[in-house]
């Protein structure tokens, strides 16, 4: 009898994960090893994705989870109280809990309507008390599948039809992934999960621990062990698969070709400004001020500005005041009506972004993962702690946006220069224009600490972990 090729279910609940997993090498490597792949998205699948990915080995399906009931929402709220980290206190999800947004999509997470102060203190007190009760974590992990088994005839049919050997979740757990993981457990099918991003592991308690957890760096592994209480021997570190693009020299264009394609001058220094969107809704003020300084020749070298809007508010065109200005290019990228984030970076856009990082002279962004992109190409990175967000008439950029675990990891590496005023920003820009090698060793440490290995082989390591599940 001919041996059946093994089948892997891949679960995707955010558009950017299509880039991270499907377009950065993991999918192609799995296909070369003759695995059958069934990809499930948390929404109906658009035709352009079918045209791009479906073939004899790869099938795509949409799987929308029904709205949760009141009891389930209460249980979900409880599990957020059982860990206390910088992220759970200050990240968007914890702000949602404290500020009473109550809705999952990102456009509504960042609410300015706060609960009364006494209620915030009460909820924080509850969190500190419950997080100090270890048995509660075990109860939640037992109770999640016991009280909410989530039997689904449609999902059972998919399991019966494709007979998966592994469930690979590109998130560490949510309402989309839970039914798959629970059905897999009932059928003794192995499970593997990776956080959506390197900054997610401390966001909330993971109620369904997979057979194997894959993380992007050692900091995340330590958090998985210490905070999530996941055994070390069930955790693998692989790096960031989408950072493999930075080692593909064949995709790099010349500086002249790339900058001229954006209407920019290859002889001027390029400042790359990356917006943080709804997380720093006023950061366009910094970009506008930079443009004024460039026009007035306030820097030690002639400069120009490349602005990358954020997908979360790109439709609002917050950088409209910069369009048509001298020495400025405002980037664009594909926005789709698909999944929560609605941002699906195409292959060409990924290559374009890598070239923009490669040919910039420095990166400026507020408390952003873009600093890691800059470090990957050994580019100086400046992180403003001002003008990003205001509350009650006060600038809260520094106190709020720099208070999460992942930003603490980033800033403590020393590879990112934080500035707290526009004058400090100008001084930092001029310092890097005069000496691009400034903080070069610190940038190397940043990569080692938060990217694990930058060798173009993160996707290979991920596939190796997947294959080890079948041994």
Residue 5: predicted pLDDT? 92
Q: What is the pLDDT at residue 365?
A: 98
User: What per-residue confidence (pLDDT) applies to 111?
Assistant: 43
289's tokens: 């001020």
Distance CA 321, CA 285 (A): 10
8 A C-beta contact, residue 372 and residue 354? no
Yes or no: say if 330 and 284 are a contact pair by the CB < 8 Å rule: no
Q: Residue 122: what pLDDT?
A: 76
Q: Following DSSP, what letter does each residue of 280-340 receive, concatenated?
A: STTTHHHHHHHHHHHHTT-SSS-EEEEEE--TTTGGG-TTGGGTT-TTEEE----B-SSTT
Q: What is the C-alpha separation between 50 and 47, in angstroms, rounded?
A: 5
Question: CB count, 10 Å around CB of 316?
Answer: 13
Q: Using CB atoms within 10 A of its CB, is residue 229 exposed (0-12), middle (13-18) or buried (19+)?
A: middle
CATH topology of domain 250-451: Rossmann fold (3.40.50)
Tell me what pLDDT residue 66 has. 77
Domain range summary for the chain, segments of one domain joined by +? 7-66+150-239+457-469, 70-137, 250-451
Tokens of 116: 């009364």
Mean pLDDT by 10 residues, the chain (471 residues): 84 94 97 98 96 98 85 79 79 39 38 57 80 89 92 97 98 90 98 93 91 97 95 97 98 98 98 95 97 98 98 89 96 86 91 99 98 98 95 86 92 96 99 98 97 97 98 87
Query: Which pLDDT score, from 0 to 100, does residue 2 have?
Result: 56
The CATH number assigned to the domain with range 7-66+150-239+457-469 reads 3.40.50.2000
DSSP state letters, 233-274: GGEEE---GGGGGGG-GGGPPPHHHHHHHTT--TTSEEEEEE
What is the reported pLDDT for 71? 83
Question: Does the fold of domain 250-451 match that of domain 7-66+150-239+457-469?
Answer: yes
- Within 10 Å of residue 290's Cβ, how many Cβ atoms? 26
Q: CB neighbours (10 Å) of residue 403?
A: 16
pLDDT in tens, 419-431: 999 999 999 999 9
What count of other Cβ atoms lies within 10 Å of the Cβ of residue 110?
A: 18
Neighbours of 102 (CB within 10 A): 12
């Amino acid at each position: 009898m001919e041996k059946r090729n093994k089948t892997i279910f891949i679960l995707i609940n955010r558009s950017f994960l299509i880039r991270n997993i499907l377009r950065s090498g993991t999918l192609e490597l799995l296909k070369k090893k003759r695995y059958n792949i069934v990809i499930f998205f948390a929404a109906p699948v658009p035709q352009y994705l079918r045209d791009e990915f479906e073939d004899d080995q790869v099938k795509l399906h949409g799987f929308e989870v029904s709205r949760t009931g009141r009891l389930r929402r209460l249980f979900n709220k409880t599990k957020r109280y059982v860990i206390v980290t910088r992220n759970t206190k200050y990240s968007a999800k914890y702000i949602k809990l404290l500020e009473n947004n109550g809705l999952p999509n990102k456009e509504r997470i960042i609410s300015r309507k706060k609960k009364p102060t006494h209620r915030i203190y009460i909820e924080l007190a509850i969190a500190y008390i419950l997080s100090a009760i270890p048995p509660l974590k075990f109860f939640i992990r037992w109770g999640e599948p016991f009280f909410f088994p989530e039997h689904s005839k449609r999902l059972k049919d998919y399991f019966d039809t494709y007979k998966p050997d592994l469930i690979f979740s590109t998130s560490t757990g949510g309402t989309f992934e839970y039914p798959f993981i629970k059905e897999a457990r009932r059928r003794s099918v192995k499970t593997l999960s990776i956080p959506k991003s390197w900054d997610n592991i401390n966001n909330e308690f993971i109620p369904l621990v997979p057979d194997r957890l894959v993380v992007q760096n050692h900091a995340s592994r330590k958090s998985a062990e210490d905070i999530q209480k996941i055994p070390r021997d069930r955790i693998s570190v692989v790096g960031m698969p989408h950072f493999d693009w930075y080692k593909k020299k064949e995709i790099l264009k010349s500086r002249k070709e790339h900058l001229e394609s954006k209407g920019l001058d290859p002889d001027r220094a390029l400042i790359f400004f990356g917006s943080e969107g709804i997380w720093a809704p006023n950061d366009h003020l910094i970009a506008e001020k930079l443009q004024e300084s460039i026009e007035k020749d306030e820097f030690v070298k002639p400069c120009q500005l490349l602005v990358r809007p954020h997908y979360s508010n790109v439709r609002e065109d917050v950088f409209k005041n910069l369009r048509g200005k001298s020495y400025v290019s405002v980037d664009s990228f594909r926005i789709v009506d698909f999944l929560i984030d609605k941002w699906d970076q195409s292959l060409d856009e990924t290559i374009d972004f890598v070239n923009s990082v490669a040919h910039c002279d420095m990166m400026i962004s507020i408390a952003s993962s873009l600093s890691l992109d800059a470090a990957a190409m050994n580019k100086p990175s400046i992180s403003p702690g001002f003008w990003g967000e205001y509350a009650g008439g006060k600038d809260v950029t520094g106190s709020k946006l720099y208070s999460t675990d992942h930003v603490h990891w980033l800033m403590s590496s020393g590879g990112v220069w934080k500035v707290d005023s526009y004058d400090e920003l100008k001084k930092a820009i001029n310092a890097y224009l005069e000496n691009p090698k400034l903080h070069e060793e610190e940038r190397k440490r940043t990569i080692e600490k938060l990217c694990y290995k930058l060798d173009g082989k993160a996707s290979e390591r991920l596939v190796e972990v997947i294959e080890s599940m079948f041994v």
